[in-house]
């Protein structure tokens, strides 16, 4: 839609379905300062309320209404009727159903016989009821003074988080790159230009101020020393890590385990010595009785020394006797039967 050609009067565009990829791109193009016929006053419409992601700057007003409901359409668009003097052009976009039929209608889905791909915009209509065909017939019924165009795009490739077809854009870019495409914009060129600008500015400052030149040289030297220190540290870390092997690590673990085991044995031996070499502690020995072979407790003092039992002698008692045998670590206590005799000069 557009107004009559008068000075300072903008053209008006009504985009039905502005939240789709095609509608969104059209709104952005019309609001561009370089758009043909600009400036444009753009009204965007859709069935649902304006999404949070929708850029409000690309439309002058967002209108929510159902275009299939004539009453809702009249009520929601009445306030912009005075901004339009006459219709100039209608652009109608159809799509996949022109080539494949009403694929979203379950009553016809089983009987559909679509066109064979690839699809062409001049393909004949299919013998099924189709909303797209009705729209084309409607715009064609207007007088010849109203121009229109029909665009039968099967798949639209664009950037959209709500449409699976946005993945096709990635595939298209990958194909172009693989086919030896030429770059239109090289990002590193901008970085080089910024670096060159800084370099020229620094040279100009140093030529005008000798102290500034000296400060820059000192700063460069300091930065170079820091970089060298970091590189040296990295090389040192790399050399240390290179000297460590799996075999050496296993050897260290085995050695540590062996040392731990030896330490535990020494602690156990020290504990045993502390228990049996304590002269102030009584030693309780069990004896076997002749009749019922029950054990009886015999309390003996471990303070006996070699003078009291030279070479090992029998202790006073009944048939079952307790014998002290000298050893390098102290005395060993034994229990013998009736006729047993233990000693250095004794015989059975």
Supply the pLDDT for residue 346: 43
pLDDT tens-place string over residues 215-233:
888 888 898 998 888 888 8
Residue 97's nearest CA partner among 55, 154, 44, 140 is: 154
| Radius of gyration of the chain from its Cα atoms, rounded to whole angstroms | 52
pLDDT tens-place string over residues 235-286:
887 776 666 677 777 888 888 899 999 998 888 888 877 776 654 444 455 5
pLDDT tens-place string over residues 51-92:
888 898 999 999 999 988 999 999 999 988 888 777 888 999
* Residue 236 φ then ψ, to 5°: -65, -45
Classify 12 as helix, strand or coil: strand
Query: 256: phi > 0 → left, psi -120 to 50 → alpha, else beta; which?
Result: alpha
Classify 64 as helix, strand or coil: strand
Close Cβ partners of 321 (under 8 Å, ≥ 6 residues apart): 314, 315, 335, 336, 340
Tokens standing for residue 171:
């595939």
Exposure of 249 in the CB half-sphere (CA atoms within 13 A): 6
In this predicted structure, the answer to whether residue 301 has a pLDDT above a threshold of 60 is: no
Strand bridging mode 282-288 / 295-301: antiparallel
Decide: 67 and 46 in contact? Cβ < 8 Å.
no
Q: What is the pTM of this model?
A: 0.47
Nearest-angstrom CA–CA distance, 59 and 120 = 33
Classify 127 as helix, strand or coil: coil
Decide: 324 and 304 in contact? Cβ < 8 Å.
yes
């Amino acid at each position: 839609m557009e107004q009559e050609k008068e000075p300072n009067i903008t053209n008006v565009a009504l985009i039905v379905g502005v939240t789709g990829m095609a509608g969104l791109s059209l709104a952005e193009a019309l609001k561009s300062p370089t758009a043909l016929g600009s400036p444009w006053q753009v009204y965007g419409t859709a069935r649902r309320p304006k999404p949070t992601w929708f850029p409000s700057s690309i439309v002058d007003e967002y209108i929510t209404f159902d275009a299939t409901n004539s009453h809702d359409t009249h009520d929601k668009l009445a306030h912009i009727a005075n901004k339009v003097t006459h219709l100039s052009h209608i652009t109608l976009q159809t799509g996949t159903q022109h080539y494949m039929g009403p694929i979203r209608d379950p009553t016809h889905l089983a009987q559909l016989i679509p066109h064979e791909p690839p699809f062409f915009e001049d393909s004949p209509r299919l013998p099924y009821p189709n909303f797209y065909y009705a729209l084309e017939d409607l715009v064609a019924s207007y007088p010849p003074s109203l121009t229109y165009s029909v665009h039968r795009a099967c798949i639209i490739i664009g950037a959209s988080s709500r449409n699976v077809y946005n993945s096709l854009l990635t595939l298209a870019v990958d194909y172009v790159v693989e086919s030896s495409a030429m770059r239109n914009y090289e990002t590193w060129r901008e970085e080089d230009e910024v670096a060159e600008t800084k370099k020229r500015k620094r040279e100009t400052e140093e030529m005008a101020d000798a102290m500034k030149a000296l400060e820059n040289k000192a700063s460069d030297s300091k930065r170079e020393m820091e970089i060298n220190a970091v590189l040296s540290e990295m090389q040192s870390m790399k050399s240390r890590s290179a000297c460590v092997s799996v075999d050496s690590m296993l050897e260290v673990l085995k050695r540590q385990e062996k040392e731990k085991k030896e330490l535990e044995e020494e602690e156990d031996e020290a504990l045993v010595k502390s228990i049996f070499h304590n002269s102030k502690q009584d030693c309780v020995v069990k004896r076997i009785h002749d009749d019922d072979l029950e054990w009886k407790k015999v309390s003996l003092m471990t303070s006996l020394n070699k003078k009291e039992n030279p070479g090992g002698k029998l202790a006073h008692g009944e048939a079952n006797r307790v014998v002290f045998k000298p050893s390098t670590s102290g005395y060993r206590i034994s229990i013998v039967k009736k006729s047993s005799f233990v000693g250095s000069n004794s015989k059975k």
